[in-house]
Structure 1
Amino acid sequence: MKGKHIVQILMSLVLVIMLASCSNEASTDGKTADGKFKGELTVWIHPYVGNELKSKQNEVFENMAAEFKKEYPDLKIKFEEIPWANREQKILTALAANQGPDVFYLIPDMMGQFADRGVLTPITDLLSGNFDRSDFPESSLEAVTYKDELYGLPILHEVVANVYNTKVLEDIGASKEDVPETWEEFNALAEKAVAKGYYARGFEGGNTLNGTLYPILWQAGGDVIDENGKVVINNKKGIKAFQTVNDWYKKGWIPKDSISTIDHFSLFAEGKMLAANATGITISTLKERGMTDYVLGPPLKGEKQVTFGTTGMFVVPTSSKNKEAAAKLIEVMTSSENTRAFNEVTKYIPPRKSASDMYNNDPDMKQMTEWLPLTKPGVIHPVARDVMPKVQAELQMMLEGSKSPKQAADAAAEVIQAEIDKQ
């Protein structure tokens, strides 16, 4: 028995020595003893473009990795594409199991939720001394800042404006010069279009509220949660937004499948609809299809002129073992040159001032860029993403006729408050 104990003690000593040796070889931050980064960084990206441009998107990311490896040759960079659908749950599940990436893509209304759950690393103190804050408009940095900490660096901006079918405009006695700027002007055209058998606009009720209810709510002067954290979606202005959508549905301004569909662009492209939401990708798609019978229109003005426009950023999770290296990689990925290359392929708007001239020869995209100051990046609150499907359900019940606009708005306020109370 005594000999057995001696063997166990010797084995334990060997294990301690082995662990000590490993810890001298590399730190938990992915560095060797001489301070060089080593190992592998995994980056989760999404299909920012369609299949026809996938090779160009991949080339952009490969060039980012190649540039990074010039300075950090001992680090391997691996890009993995995950679908947009259910990405939030996939990312959170992976991070909880310590199996997630070292860098991933995020938008502002998800940032607060992820930061409050403790799965994001503030990168304010991880950036190199060469990082130039002045090349970003303050609004861009605000969109990636939460509780005074920088959690990511932006690579894209998006503006949701409007696009109008010029053939439909002509058929109702208008022209591309009559593109509306206010709700009153739009409603006048919409009535004429519906009278001629067209739909007035799309309303893709199965998509995120950022592209459906929220812009209408903001334009009515309302909001979901005010700056003091109070739920205000069911105040007078909020109820007006619900009422507006309900009126469109009852009058046939939007299609009957507006309750749950995710695609009304096809109806617009087929010439059956006056107007649709428009982003840079919309314009690119129209051009690819050879469609020239369209004209862009600004975000509409009610009490306010405002629309949704996200800021896409790359962030570092707390589970990454190479946080410092990951932050350096984000700097390279969002450099002026790489930002320009990424947005040339994806048709988003670059957040860097030094890349702002890239659309000078593209009138449509230049116009979209000029509308950037009219955007909001969504609801910036830890419960922003959690409440979306619940508010969406209330909106759908209203359209189905089981709730009035006020009842739907009040119920939406209740579910939002309930989520806040859980914190």
Structure 2
Amino acid sequence: MLRKKVGIWFCLLVLVFSLAACSSDKKASGDNKVNEKATLTVWIHPYVGKDLKDQQTKVFDNIAKDFKKKHPKVTVKFQEIPWANREQKILTALSANQGPDVFYLIPDMMAQFADKKLLTPLDQYLGKDWGKDDFSQTALEAVTYDKKIYGLPMLRESMANFYNTKILKEIGGDPNNLPKTWDEFDELGQKAVDKGYFARNFEGSNTPNATLYPFIWQAGGDILDKDGKVIINNEAGVKAFTKINDWYKKGFIPKDSISAADHFTPFVEGKLLAVFGSGATLSALRAKGMNDFVVGPPLKDKEEATFGTTGMFVIPANSENKKLAAEFIETMTSKENSMEFNKLTKYIPARESASSIFDEDPAMKQLASYTDITKPGVMSPVARTIIPKVQAEMQAMLEGNKTPKEAADAAAKAIESELKK
């Protein structure tokens, strides 16, 4: 129901923007002008827990002070909105022309918004020294849609395998020589299963970005090809569905994997050899005082690949302060501000020059080393709408109602249906 409402809001919002474009071209003529007495409204989220809220406020206040060195009369107004229902809140505000000048998106949402012409391409507004060469290729790909840059990246994640070192020792594993391939993991995982453990987590109700898709990428496949053709059910895709199904049948993943939302808890309880996680997993383990773990690489079949989001700041198409907003985003994502933000939030900086913040944290440094093989998900306007459909087919397979090939074919058909809408 929520997704249907969001879809309706998208349609209404596109209509509002179209009517505005037909009735007036005032904003277009002033896009590159700077109002030095303007108020920039910036929507942010709680990127840290309540215990660190004051420190987050300080980080953003310092960013505003940095920006005001060049624009002393501009007012920067931060508004924190909750993560829950943020998509609909943003759409509602934009449709009423009461939205922010700058707000935060992740890649699949960006593609959805950009396709509906709700965002401002930044290419024409960025200065010459915004530091393009300081961002990795994968970071830039995550903020680009239809060959246009729609945001500057502030944070990144990369997912890898966290292993319980006590279980590793019990089954004869080597924490200094962890599995790199599917076959190597299967060999080690079987030893864990033989001892009564599960080999790894698999939360079926979680986004396929963190469940199914990494297997597809590692098998050498993708969900869509570069031309937007659905290929989730090609040989590589079917191989990924099959791998997950085999793991379930062999007891590698828990019985509740069909609909589970949390396998972190059983990992902490010592029931799983490994958990597929990110920097947030690392922070959670440390918060619980668990030190018996080691980080291992994302797995490889034909290719080594993993998932990790990229957080970016963007400008809505109806902002009256586009040039100022672009300058502000440049300031937000500078090396210094990126370092301070990510040092606090424990995300990975998108700027390579800021990666030194984890020089004294080997585990985070290791996670950061995987960003070059990290994919942001499906870069398509339908990326979010296909999530429940792909989940449903994967769950039907695990329930035994469909073969891996049937599930992959059904997922492909569902995606094609969304693309035709």
Deviation at 1:207, TM superposition (A): 1.7
1:370-390 C-alpha deviation (Å, 9 max, x unpaired) = 222111111112221221121
How far apart, in 2, do the equivalents of 1:143 and 1:176 lie?
32
Give yes or no for the alignment of 1:83 onto 2:82: yes
Q: 5 Å matches for 1:246-257?
A: 246-257=245-256
Q: How many residues align?
A: 394
Give the match for residue 48 of structure 1.
47
Give the match for residue 300 of structure 1.
299
Q: 5 Å matches for 1:25-64?
A: 36-64=35-63
Q: 5 Å matches for 1:174-213?
A: 174-213=173-212
Kindly tell me: are residues 211 and 37 of structure 1, through their superposed partners in 2, closer, same or farther at Cα, counting changes over 3 Å? same
2:297 maps to amino acid: P
Give the match for residue 221 of structure 2.
222
2:101 maps to amino acid: D
Kindly tell me: are residues 304 and 35 of structure 1, through their superposed partners in 2, closer, same or farther at Cα, counting changes over 3 Å? closer
Contact persistence 2:138–2:371 (CA under 8 A)? no
How far apart, in 1, do the equivalents of 2:243 and 2:83 lie?
29
How far apart, in 1, do the equivalents of 2:395 and 2:85 lie?
20
How far apart, in 1, do the equivalents of 2:396 and 2:91 lie?
29
Give the match for residue 161 of structure 1.
160
Give the match for residue 284 of structure 1.
283
How far apart, in 2, do the equivalents of 1:263 and 1:81 lie?
27
| 3-state SS, counterpart of residue 349 of structure 2 | coil
Give yes or no for the alignment of 1:336 onto 2:335: yes
1:385-412 C-alpha deviation (Å, 9 max, x unpaired) = 2211211121122222322222211111
When structure 1 is superposed on structure 2, of 225-234 and 293-302 the one drifting more is 225-234
Q: Which has the larger radius of gyration?
A: 1
How far apart, in 1, do the equivalents of 2:397 and 2:93 lie?
36
Give the match for residue 235 of structure 2.
236
| 3-state SS, counterpart of residue 127 of structure 2 | coil
Give the match for residue 138 of structure 1.
137
Kindly tell me: are residues 411 and 86 of structure 1, through their superposed partners in 2, closer, same or farther at Cα, counting changes over 3 Å? farther
Deviation at 1:340, TM superposition (A): 0.4
How far apart, in 1, do the equivalents of 2:255 and 2:130 lie?
51
Give the match for residue 119 of structure 1.
118
1:37-78 C-alpha deviation (Å, 9 max, x unpaired) = 333222222222222322222221121122222322333222
Give yes or no for the alignment of 1:360 onto 2:359: yes
Contact persistence 1:29–1:322 (CA under 8 A)? no
Contact persistence 2:157–2:347 (CA under 8 A)? yes
| 3-state SS, counterpart of residue 211 of structure 1 | coil
Kindly tell me: are residues 377 and 283 of structure 1, through their superposed partners in 2, closer, same or farther at Cα, counting changes over 3 Å? same
1:386 maps to amino acid: T
2:397 maps to amino acid: M
How far apart, in 2, do the equivalents of 1:164 and 1:382 lie?
35
Kindly tell me: are residues 176 and 352 of structure 1, through their superposed partners in 2, closer, same or farther at Cα, counting changes over 3 Å? same
| 3-state SS, counterpart of residue 302 of structure 2 | coil
How far apart, in 1, do the equivalents of 2:231 and 2:128 lie?
42
Contact persistence 1:180–1:300 (CA under 8 A)? yes
How far apart, in 2, do the equivalents of 1:56 and 1:30 lie?
40
How far apart, in 1, do the equivalents of 2:53 and 2:256 lie?
31
Give yes or no for the alignment of 1:318 onto 2:325: no
| 3-state SS, counterpart of residue 103 of structure 2 | strand
Kindly tell me: are residues 30 and 364 of structure 1, through their superposed partners in 2, closer, same or farther at Cα, counting changes over 3 Å? farther
Contact persistence 1:28–1:321 (CA under 8 A)? yes
Contact persistence 1:30–1:38 (CA under 8 A)? no
The CA RMSD measured in Å over matched residues stands at: 2.0
Kindly tell me: are residues 367 and 381 of structure 1, through their superposed partners in 2, closer, same or farther at Cα, counting changes over 3 Å? same
Give the match for residue 269 of structure 2.
270
Deviation at 1:421, TM superposition (A): 1.4
How far apart, in 1, do the equivalents of 2:391 and 2:400 lie?
14
- Could you list the runs of 5+ residues in structure 2 that have no partner in the other structure? 1-25
Deviation at 1:130, TM superposition (A): 3.8
Q: Percent identity?
A: 59
1:260 maps to amino acid: S
1:282-329 C-alpha deviation (Å, 9 max, x unpaired) = 222222222110011001011111111222110001122222221111
Q: TM-score if structure 1 supplies the norm length?
A: 0.88
Give the match for residue 368 of structure 2.
369
Contact persistence 2:151–2:313 (CA under 8 A)? yes
Contact persistence 1:217–1:241 (CA under 8 A)? yes
How far apart, in 2, do the equivalents of 1:395 and 1:35 lie?
51
Deviation at 1:106, TM superposition (A): 1.4
How far apart, in 2, do the equivalents of 1:80 and 1:303 lie?
45
How far apart, in 1, do the equivalents of 2:48 and 2:238 lie?
36
Give the match for residue 344 of structure 2.
345
| 3-state SS, counterpart of residue 274 of structure 2 | strand
How far apart, in 1, do the equivalents of 2:28 and 2:261 lie?
43
- Could you list the runs of 5+ residues in structure 1 that have no partner in the other structure? 1-26
Deviation at 1:88, TM superposition (A): 2.9
Give the match for residue 411 of structure 2.
412
Contact persistence 1:308–1:375 (CA under 8 A)? yes
How far apart, in 2, do the equivalents of 1:130 and 1:30 lie?
25
Give the match for residue 19 of structure 1.
none
How far apart, in 2, do the equivalents of 1:287 and 1:294 lie?
10
When structure 1 is superposed on structure 2, of 165-174 and 62-71 the one drifting more is 62-71
Kindly tell me: are residues 73 and 397 of structure 1, through their superposed partners in 2, closer, same or farther at Cα, counting changes over 3 Å? same
